[in-house]
Amino acid sequence: MSQEDFEYLLEKISPIIRKSDTNFREAIPTRIRLLVTLRYFSTGDSYASLMYLFRISVPSISRIIPEVCKALIDVLHDFVRIPDTEDGWKKIARDFEVLWNYPHCIGACDGKHIVLQNPKNSGSLFYNYKGTFSIVLMAVTDADYNFIYANIGCQGRISDGGVFRETIFYKKLANNNLALPAPESLPGSNRLSPYVILTDDAFPLQEHILKPFSGYHDKGSCERVYNYRHSRARRVVENSFGLLASVFRVFRKPLMVHVENAEIITTTCIYLHNFLRRSKTSRPL
């Protein structure tokens, strides 16, 4: 993150997180509060390590990080938005066609497990098929690795398809409430085809949801060629998760926080990811 972007965020969140001095103690400056939070995101350092680095107590750090996260979400809320017009969806579709040679694609969808310590008294609710405890990040991205929708917090034991069916995005998609463009003909064809979200085998096949052909297909067959094109376009969401974890290294090990704070931390990193990708001064992600 560039100095300019840091100062921009500091200016935006300062009125929200600023604390007043009292007769008994001086308030921790807003600059330090933001630095502590960004350091935690970028390194995944424990609260004890942050305590020695910033000379702030662990209880204070455990309060500072969620407060700063909520402030960042508040000021960056416009950076993760579902398009609300047909033109917005068509722009995403044009980007997919130009960058990934896949027409009529309005997003790629997949889930990612955010690993965390076993929540108290949760039994196997958060225990996933990988043998860890997690919450699920369900996301839809555009062709340029930006998140346009994210749902965080579902228990890790639930499949990607099950999580997706419970999201607001899916319910709006199923009820035709997303202002999607009407079906149009594909290049070189007169047959009308709908605009679609690309997913993997874990998701349902529907009018606006496409997944690859299942099973083995001979080399050169139409099914195999399609699956290659499908995978090539859909992997942008997996690459987006990879970029997220490479920049915010807090996700490289289990989050040692409560589930509610894990949701807030993940949401904040999603917003910061889009903010940094659109920044003209920070190093490109």
More reliable by pLDDT, 94 or 1: 94
Q: For residue 110, what are the contacts with CB-CB under 8 A and spacing of at least 6? A: 138, 139, 160, 199, 200, 234, 237, 238, 241
pLDDT at position 285 over 80:
no
Tens-digit pLDDT profile for residues 167-194? 999 999 988 889 899 999 888 788 899 9
Q: What mean pLDDT is reported for the chain?
A: 90
Q: How far apart are CA 224 and CA 203, in angstroms?
A: 19
pLDDT average, residue stretch 51-55: 92
List Cα–Cα distances, 216 to 45, 72, 229, 234, in angstroms. Answer: 44, 46, 16, 19
CA angle (256, 257, 260) in 5-degree steps: 150
The reported pTM is: 0.91
Tens-digit pLDDT profile for residues 139-164? 999 999 999 999 998 988 998 888 99
Q: How far apart are CA 82 and CA 88, in angstroms?
A: 9
Q: How far apart are CA 269 and CA 5, in angstroms?
A: 15
Helix, strand, or coil here: 68? helix
Q: How far apart are CA 251 and CA 265, in angstroms?
A: 10
Q: For residue 101, what are the contacts with CB-CB under 8 A and spacing of at least 6? A: 229, 232, 233
